[in-house]
């Protein structure tokens, strides 16, 4: 008599020997990238120029993009949900932004002085976040958080910073403690002692503010750490945090490098109607070009102003350099991109495509009977492994503990999901985030859902899930 369990077990072993693995398919699909990586390791540490591009056995190399897709060295068409690490809300090479940048490049990329573009760019920012009083432009989110912290310390004379576990604010030394993806190696203890780290719990915040009266600023990613992969509940948490910081006379800083102009036209602060004292913007603020900004209360930002007092101007004023601050091509990209957001249904289209994607990913979890679900706010979609959603699960910002996220969203699972999806012509950022754009089409979303289901089956067959 046929022993069915043993038969199917043997059949599975045969199939596993015949079917190529995820790694086999990845290597076969991207041979030109493998060759490029062999050259890259001769020039760059680990062969990469950004830590998020680290991949085993090699990263995929791309050479162009258009709309919702991009193209690699082997001419594969890849549906892209990295989207410039979230900076391309309008997709790759939007004609209006391309035309604006190209026309300005022909007239000069750096004019060595002030331009009207700076003023128009600041107007475009304030148009979407009306309560901002002043703006200063920088070149990256890291620069912006560092500059903002210096201004805040000069303003209130308090030395300590409160940040939240896993929240990422760049790679300067005050941002490194407990940021999750790179340790504070060789940071002097004196600097480490200036940073108080807590989990996003209002009780812990209140306790820290009472125990450390020299905390001058609380900073956070307003929807949770790492593109909300460690989600918090912003509807209640942000208002409570605003109340606590006001009660203790502490500056509240929103790092909206990711959320700004994406989760609403005016970012998290407009969506949840919570006014921080200082905001940091990056990515979308510059229309996909290298650029960022700090903005907010004028009495804080005035710490950078010249006053005609030699002692102030030379010794106490917060100085800011930056060769390419507000350079014309970046400024005009920011102007055009932000004005599109203000006047066109950019966010609405991206949000609708993301909603379609979330629904489809959840259907894929159900059809494969793999524990997990997809959640996310606006045009950001996050898959989560290891737990079935309940009827009460908030699919915008679920209540997931740090322990649950670390246990279930392991580096191995995220890495293999990224590779499996790439073999099915989709690039998901870090195996845990889909950054949806207004350029993505329903067809591309549906292809992505199919690729996700296939990838879940791939990971399950290899024992990764």
Residues 246-286: tens digit of each pLDDT: 999 999 999 999 999 999 999 999 999 999 999 999 999 99
Tokens of 58: 């090699």
Residues 380 and 272 in one domain: no
Same domain for 307 and 227?
A: yes
Res. 182: pLDDT tops 70: no
Mean pLDDT for 326-355 is 98
Q: Is the peptide bond before 453 cis (omega within 30 degrees of 0)?
A: no
197 beta partners: 163
pLDDT band for position 188 (cuts 50, 70, 90): confident
| CATH number, domain with residue 312 | 3.40.640.10
Kindly state whether residues 69 and 181 are assigned to the same domain.
no
DSSP designation for 315: I
pLDDT at 38 > cutoff 70:
yes
> Is 163 domain-assigned?
yes
Tell me if residue 455 falls in helix, strand or coil.
helix
Q: What is the mean pLDDT of residues 356-364?
A: 98
| Among candidate residues 316, 343, 370, the one where a domain is terminated | 343
For strands 69-72 and 62-66, give the pairing: antiparallel
Domain shared by 117 and 88, yes or no: no
Residue 326, exposed/middle/buried by CB under 10 A (0-12, 13-18, 19+)?
buried
Lowest mean pLDDT segment, chosen from 81-85, 320-324, 425-429: 320-324
Report the interhelical angle of 234-247 vs 202-211 (nearest 10°). 20
Q: How many domains does the chain have?
A: 2
pLDDT band at 9 (very low <50, low <70, confident <90, very high): low
Give the domain CATH number at 446. Answer: 3.90.1150.10
Domain end position, chosen among 343, 369, 399: 343
Using the Cα atoms of residue 36, residue 38, residue 41 and residue 47 in order, give the sign of their dihedral: positive
pLDDT score of 128 more than 70: yes
233 and 255 part of one domain: yes
The region that residue 436 occupies, defined by phi over 0 for left and psi between -120 and 50 for alpha, beta otherwise, is beta
| Domain end position, chosen among 343, 377, 392 | 343
pLDDT at residue 2, as a whole number: 57
* 326 plus 352 within the same structural domain: no
Q: Is 2 contained in some domain?
A: no
Q: How far apart are CA 187 and CA 178, in angstroms?
A: 12
Closest by CA to 84, choosing from 95, 92, 96, 94, is 92
Q: Is 307 in the same domain as 424? A: no
From the list 230, 232, 163, the residue with the least C-alpha distance to 198 is 163
Query: Which residue in 235, 259, 442 sits closest to 354, CA to CA?
Result: 442
* pLDDT value of position 122: 98
Mean of pLDDT values over 161-186? 85
- Residues 77 and 183: their CA atoms lie apart, in Å, by 36
The answer to whether residues 115 and 42 belong to one domain is no
How much is the average pLDDT of 379-383? 98
Mean pLDDT of 430-454: 98
Q: Could you list the residue range(s) of the whole structural domain that residue 447 is in?
A: 12-92+346-461
296 and 184 within one domain: yes
- 357 Cβ contact list (under 8 Å, min separation 6): 374, 381, 434, 436, 445, 448, 449
Sign of the torsion angle spanned by Cα atoms 36, 40, 42, 45? negative
Q: What is the DSSP string of 154-166?
A: HHH---EEEEETT
Percent of the chain at pLDDT > 70 equals 95
Rounded Cα distance between 240 and 409, Å, is: 29
Q: What is the pLDDT of residue 192?
A: 85
pTM: 0.93
């Amino acid at each position: 008599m046929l022993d069915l369990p043993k038969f199917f077990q043997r059949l599975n072993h045969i199939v596993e020997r015949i079917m190529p693995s995820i790694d086999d398919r990845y290597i076969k699909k991207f041979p030109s990238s493998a060759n490029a990586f062999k050259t890259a390791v001769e020039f760059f540490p680990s062969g990469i120029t950004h830590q998020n591009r680290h991949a085993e056995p090699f990263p995929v190399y791309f050479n162009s993009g258009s709309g919702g897709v991009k193209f690699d060295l082997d001419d594969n068409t890849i549906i892209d949900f990295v989207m410039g690490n979230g900076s391309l809300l309008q997709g790759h090479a939007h004609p209006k932004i391309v035309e604006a940048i190209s026309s300005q490049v022909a007239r000069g990329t750096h004019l060595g002085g002030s331009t009207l573009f700076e003023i128009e760019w600041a107007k475009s920012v304030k148009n979407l976040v009306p309560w901002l009083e002043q703006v200063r432009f920088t070149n990256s989110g890291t620069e912006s958080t560092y500059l903002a912290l210096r201004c805040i310390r000069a303003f209130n004379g308090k030395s300590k910073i409160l940040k939240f576990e896993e929240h990422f604010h760049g790679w300067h030394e005050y941002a490194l403690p407990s940021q999750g993806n790179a340790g504070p190696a060789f940071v002097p203890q004196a600097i480490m002692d200036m940073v108080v780290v807590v989990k996003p719990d209002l009780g812990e915040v209140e306790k820290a503010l009472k125990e450390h009266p020299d905390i001058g600023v609380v900073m956070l990613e307003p929807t949770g750490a790492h593109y909300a992969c460690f989600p918090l509940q912003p509807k209640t948490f942000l208002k409570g945090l605003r109340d606590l910081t006001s009660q203790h006379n502490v500056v509240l800083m929103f790092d909206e490098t990711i959320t700004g102009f994406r989760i609403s036209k005016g970012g998290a602060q407009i969506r949840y109607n919570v006014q921080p004292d200082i905001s940091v913007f990056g990515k979308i603020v510059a229309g996909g070009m290298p650029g960022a900004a700090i903005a907010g209360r004028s009495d804080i930002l005035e710490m950078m102003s010249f006053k005609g007092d030699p002692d102030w101007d030379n010794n106490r004023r917060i100085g800011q350099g930056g060769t390419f601050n507000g350079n014309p091509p970046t400024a005009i990209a920011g102007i055009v991109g932000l004005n599109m957001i203000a006047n066109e249904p950019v966010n609405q289209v991206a949000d609708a495509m993301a909603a379609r994607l979330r629904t489809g990913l959840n259907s894929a979890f159900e059809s494969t009977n793999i524990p997990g679900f997809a959640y996310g706010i606006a045009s950001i979609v996050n898959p989560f492994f290891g737990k079935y959603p309940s009827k009460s699960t908030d699919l915008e910002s679920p209540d997931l503990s740090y322990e649950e996220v670390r246990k279930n969203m392991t580096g191995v699972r995220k890495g293999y999901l990224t590779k499996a999806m790439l073999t099915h012509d989709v690039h998901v950022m870090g195996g845990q985030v889909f950054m949806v754009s207004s350029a993505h089409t329903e067809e591309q979303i549906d292809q992505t859902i199919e690729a996700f289901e296939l990838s879940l089956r791939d990971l399950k067959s290899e024992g990764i899930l």
